[in-house]
Amino acid sequence: MSNELKLAENIRIKKLDEENYLILQPDVPNILVGNHLLVELLKEFSKPANPHVIAKKISSQVKAEQASLLAQIEAIKRGGFLIQRGEKIETRLTREKPGGIVKMYLTLSERCNLECKHCFRSADSTKERNQLGIETLQQLIEEFAQLGGEDLIITGGEPFLEKEKLFVVLEASARHSIDTYVLTNGTLIGSRDIDQLAKLKNVTLIISVDGAKEETHDFIRGKGSFARITNTIRQLVDADIDVILNFTIMKTNYHEIEEFIGLATQLGVKVLEFQPLIMQGRAIKNKKALDLTNSELLQAYSTLRRLSKQIPRPIIVLYGEPLALVQLSDLTKRGCRLQDGTVAVDGKGDIYPCQGFMYPEMRLGNLNLGSLEQQWSSSPVMDQLYQLNILDFKECSGCELKYICNSGCIAEGYAQTRDLTSKNPLCGFLKGFYWDLIKEGAMKLLDET
């Protein structure tokens, strides 16, 4: 290490507690934790400096061995905190383009038997029926399987309004052992459906439950729906069918998270999913009743992190799994599903990049026009999405967390502004959320050392 080293740009130093500091290199991203001596060591490199000279200087001050200090400086350099003259930290500016389609969202029904207050799709009973023939659906699953597709997510509207087509798709995906998830409101599942589902070992039902109490859930989803679905969930669990409960965090229910986990335990459900409300569709009309402040949403996520450590069961949290499961570099993958190799198909056979981008101008093609893969890989729309550079997001380019957050799910900003480079509408929450995770990561590091 004869070359001079300098502190990299954008390094942030924050006090963690009375003794310790957190040092964030947001462009890698990476964190360091340590006491004031670490901060002083780093400050020695505010201007280019020779590590041997600094190690010698510090070693005489703190009675540490020069060789051990040099090794620490080398480790700090490897973490991207110190750089050589002319060196640039490689930052991830765009979304990584996956090799192919891995995950497919299939909107089997635009229609719905319910009219939930928060529904971002504004689904109701007046929406169009699915127009795809049985054969087209079978061919679609066949092609998905040939492409090596791993996850099929069937959604709506309410997929159980198209039972015949739903079971055709489920049986086709079972033939290829594709992990298949059906997002459902759970109100239309009868005992014959349960018998049929029990035979399919690749299917998981994701049932929406929007409150721990009957009145909270029914306020969103309509009277009688809580009683109906809790009964159905019990029957599904008894029949050994995999069930996940999906909870959308809103003003009406964010204080019921702990109780909701208790309810899931009573019902025998082991996996829970949580996601924040997005302000789209009917949620906009009901904003006053449903929208959370940033601090309320942060409180909900902090409850989730606390509980996920206490409860020995998977809790899947959109915008970040419990920190115990997350490496800091994994944080950069949260929020945007495009990197998973997604495609979405609607009830007319139109193909889109993902579930959040089902707009005419984002259409990649139609199942009538040729192969799914060919239309997906040759579409200029896909190229445009993967070339999006966070530095082109006017409101994000100066943000210290830009390489970690990457503006989250870009479809959420697009839904409100029709501008692909607008910052995420949950920005205020995301900033607090990522800093909370970074601080928890640092505390964990401290505990380990």
Ligand X SMILES: C[S@@+](CC[C@H](N)C(=O)[O-])C[C@H]1O[C@@H](n2cnc3c(N)ncnc32)[C@H](O)[C@@H]1O
The yes or no reply on residue 424 touching ligand SF4 (CB under 6 A) is yes
Of 163, 152, 153, 151, nearest to 111 by C-alpha is 163
Residue positions counted in the chain:
449
Q: Which is nearer to ligand X, 283 or 372 (CB)?
A: 283
Q: Which is nearer to ligand SF4, 103 or 111 (CB)?
A: 111
54 binds, among ligand SF4, ligand X, none (CB under 5 to 8 A by kind): none
399 binds, among ligand X, ligand SF4, none (CB under 5 to 8 A by kind): ligand SF4
Under 8 Å between Cβ of 338 and 101: no
Under 8 Å between Cβ of 116 and 277: no
363 class by beta-carbon count within 10 Å (0-12 exposed, 13-18 middle, 19+ buried): middle
Q: By CB under 6 A, name the one of 77, 165, 305, 423 that touches ligand SF4.
A: 423
Q: Which is nearer to ligand SF4, 45 or 403 (CB)?
A: 403
430 binds, among ligand SF4, ligand X, none (CB under 5 to 8 A by kind): ligand SF4
* Distance between CA atoms of residues 7 and 430, nearest Å: 27
Helix (H) or strand (E) holding 38: helix 36-43
Binding site for ligand X (CB under 6 A): 112, 118-121, 155-156, 158, 183-185, 208, 246, 248, 275, 277-278, 280, 283
* Distance between CA atoms of residues 376 and 354, nearest Å: 11
What number of chain residues touch ligand SF4 (CB under 6 A)?
23
* Distance between CA atoms of residues 233 and 281, nearest Å: 28
The region of 150-158, 294-302, 315-323, 341-349 touching ligand SF4 under the rule CB under 6 A is 150-158
Torsion of CA 87, 88, 90, 95, to 10 degrees: -160
Helix (H) or strand (E) holding 411: helix 410-417
- Pattern 183-222, ligand SF4, x by CB under 6 A: --x-------------------------------------
The yes or no reply on residue 92 touching ligand SF4 (CB under 6 A) is no
Under 8 Å between Cβ of 29 and 332: yes
Of 147, 111, 146, nearest to 129 by C-alpha is 111
Q: Which is nearer to ligand SF4, 165 or 402 (CB)?
A: 402
In the complex, the smallest distance separating the C-beta of residue 276 from ligand X, rounded to whole angstroms, is 7
Binding site for ligand SF4 (CB under 6 A): 112, 114-116, 119, 121, 123, 156-158, 185, 395-396, 399, 401-402, 405, 407, 423-424, 427, 430-431
